[in-house]
Amino acid sequence: MTQRASSQPFPVAVRNSELFFADASAEELSQRPFLFGDFPGRRPVKSSQITASAPPVTTRYILHTAFCCSTLLARSLDRPGQVLALKEPDIYMQLANAQRMGQGAGQSSVLRHVEKRLSDYGAAYGERVLVKPTNTANRIAKDALANSDSKTVIIHSDLRSFLLSIAKKGEEGRSFGRRLFNIFRLDHEFPNSQSDRDLFTLSDLQIAAFVWGLQCDQLNSAAQSAKGKVAAIHCDAFLADPGKTLTAASAFLDLGLSDDDIREQVNSGVFEQNSKAAEQGYDAAERESERKAFFDQYADAIGFVEDWARKLPLPQTIKAPSLL
Q: Kindly report the CATH number assigned to the domain that includes residue 55.
A: 3.40.50
Amino acid at 97: N
Inside any domain, residue 123: yes
Inside any domain, residue 68: yes
Domain residues for the domain of 78 are 10-309
For the cut 90, the answer to whether the pLDDT of residue 291 exceeds it is no
In percent, the amount of the chain with pLDDT more than 90 equals: 86
Inside any domain, residue 224: yes
Whether this prediction's pTM lies above 0.75 is answered by yes
Burial environment of residue 308 by CB neighbours within 10 A (0 to 12, 13 to 18, 19 or more): middle
Please state which of the ranges 7-21, 100-114, 175-189, 266-280 shows the lowest mean pLDDT: 266-280
> What total of structural domains would you count in the chain?
1
- Three-state secondary structure call for residue 268: coil
Inside any domain, residue 126: yes
Inside any domain, residue 318: no
Which has more confidence, 287 or 45? Answer: 45
Give the pLDDT band of residue 179 (cuts 50, 70, 90). very high
Inside any domain, residue 203: yes
For the cut 80, the answer to whether the pLDDT of residue 189 exceeds it is yes
- CA–chain centroid gap for 89, Å, is 10
Q: Which phi and psi (to 5°) does residue 62 adopt?
A: -115, 115
Across the chain, mean pLDDT equals 94
Strand partners, 130: 60, 85
Burial environment of residue 61 by CB neighbours within 10 A (0 to 12, 13 to 18, 19 or more): buried
